[in-house]
Amino acid sequence: MSTPRAPKVAGIDSTVPSPPHTTAHPGARAGIPATASLGAPLPTTAAGGPVGSGPIGGALQLQDRLAGWVSDLTLLQELTESLIRTGSLDGALREVLRAGAALVGARRGMAVLEPADGQGPSLTVGLGLAHAELGTIETVPRSVTSYGRILDGLDPLPEGALPRPVAHPDLRSEEDLDPRHREVAARLGYAASYALPLATEAAGKLGALVWLYDEPAEPTERQRHLIGLYGRFATEHLARLLEVERARVRIATVAEELLPSRLPRVPGVQLAARHRTGPHGGGDWYDALPLPEGALGLAVGSVSGSGPSALAAMGRLRASLRAYAVMEGEDPVAVLSDLELLLRLTEPARSATALFAFCEPAARRIVLAGAGHTPPLLIGEQRTEYVETSLSAPLGMLSCWEAPSVELSPAPGETVLLYTDGLLRRTGDAMDRAFARLHAAAASVPKADRADPGAIADHVLRTVLPEGLDTAGTHGTHGADDGEDVVLLAARFE
């Protein structure tokens, strides 16, 4: 009687090697639950012998194989779903390392992102390895490391072939191992490694993953198959995140070029600005320009929309405001009225908020007007309060915009903080709570920092956005609106 053949089951590759039945899977040490094991022990007869022949034994073997396949597919589905939820290159690489360590039964590892097209970004992250330990590994000559062989194409391959995994089952017994490699392995306490290329035909070569074993070991055939499937999916996901990151960098570069390259030096006032473009490229902006007779014009604003079109509109709006400020800057209402007319005639489908302040530093006098913009914050030794401004609609929302201006006189040493509502939205709080949070942050500026507008702006950012300006909006872990720009412009009057 012939042995039954495994039937074709939808979604299951019948060419997958059979689950191992004689040894426990190393992944159990890495935290894989028992329900997600890669195999199960063979059934036995009442006498203790294996059931391996006859129709009953064949059916049990088939059932065991199918159970192994289903378990593997369930595990891969869970791991890929966790990977899909990552939204940054750093987070995705860490998730891939964690999942891969469970699949191959390792405890530590490192990921090296180094796209073959040379356009970057380059990134190295570790699992169970401190920053200093990663640096120690990088002291090994790159040409003798497994990730270096993959990234630099040092292993001979057929034309157009993708790099293959590199295994070192027992580094201690390899006679031709580079002495520096042997020394670093002994110092860090790993005895074997398994490296997997991050490469597919569609995505190209993006990097390499390396897992480190505490004792001599290497993945089984089935583990290699599963990590290969997961690695191909991970490479495609990383390729998509890479394109998003490159687009974000390009947009941020354009946005920075549209804003002032440096702030002017005007007697009687110190200036500092902080700006960060969101991942989608918004239209928040700021400006500071010297005006006749020692005056100074300060402006912040936000254009509706995101992406390249919003950046272009922001550049046009800022350039127009500079022209109006030079002609009639002493009347902020006239400046914003002209800007509103221009916006309505040239871009009727777009709206914008703006605030313009005409400053006379020698007299410590400020006249400002706002169009749908957040009120400035006055920060000093004796007071921390929002400036009372008239409630008005954004530019482009009404057939004719006009609102009264407000005049204030900051005391010596006080700082006026202008900002866009992206700062408030990135907190993830309701607007009233976000305003209270900003006020509390300004009131808590240390006395030693109050003489430096840059230090004031940095303190406010650190306090309002605990995750920091550089990382806010990249991981989506704080409930904030991740697409928002952030702009702060601080002016300290002497």
Helix (H) or strand (E) holding 213: strand 204-213
Cβ contact 245:253 at 8 Å: no
Report whether 438 contacts 460 (CB < 8 A): yes
- CA distances in angstroms from 378 to 79, 213, 413, 421, 424, listed in the order given: 50, 58, 11, 16, 17
Max avg pLDDT among 158-162, 284-288, 310-314? 284-288
Could you tell me the two tokens for 416? Answer: 């006026």
CATH of domain 26-248: 3.30.450.40
Report which of 95, 190, 197, 107 is spatially closest to residue 152, judged by C-alpha positions: 197
Q: Is the pLDDT of residue 380 over 90?
A: yes
Q: Which comes out higher in pLDDT, residue 261 or 135?
A: 135
Which residue in the block uniquely carries the two structure tokens 């360590």? 101
Q: Does residue 215 surpass a pLDDT of 80?
A: yes
Structure tokens at 311: 């950046």
Contact 149, 156 (CB under 8 A): no
Does the pLDDT value for residue 58 go beyond 60? yes
What is the residue extent of each domain of the chain?
26-248, 259-493
Q: Band the pLDDT of 468: cuts 50, 70, 90.
A: low
pLDDT in tens, 225-247: 999 999 999 999 999 999 988 98
CA angle, residues 155, 157, 158, in degrees to nearest 5? 170
Average pLDDT over residues 169-196: 95
More confident residue, 18 or 12: 18
The DSSP output letter for 252 is H
pLDDT in tens, 95-123: 999 999 999 999 999 999 999 999 989 99
Distance CA 378, CA 387 (A): 7
Average pLDDT over residues 250-271: 88
Q: Looking at the predicted structure, is the pLDDT value of residue 35 above 80? A: no
Identify the pLDDT of residue 279.
Answer: 65
**What is the Cα–Cα distance from 174 to 177, expressed in whole angstroms?**
5
Q: What is the pLDDT of residues 407-425, one digit of tens each?
A: 999 999 999 999 999 999 9
pLDDT at 213: 97
At residue 156, does pLDDT exceed 90? no
Topology classification of domain 259-493: Phosphatase 2c; domain 1 (3.60.40)
- Summary count for the chain: helices (H), strands (E): 11, 15
Question: Is the pLDDT reported for residue 447 higher than 60?
Answer: yes
DSSP lists the bridge partners of residue 384 as 379
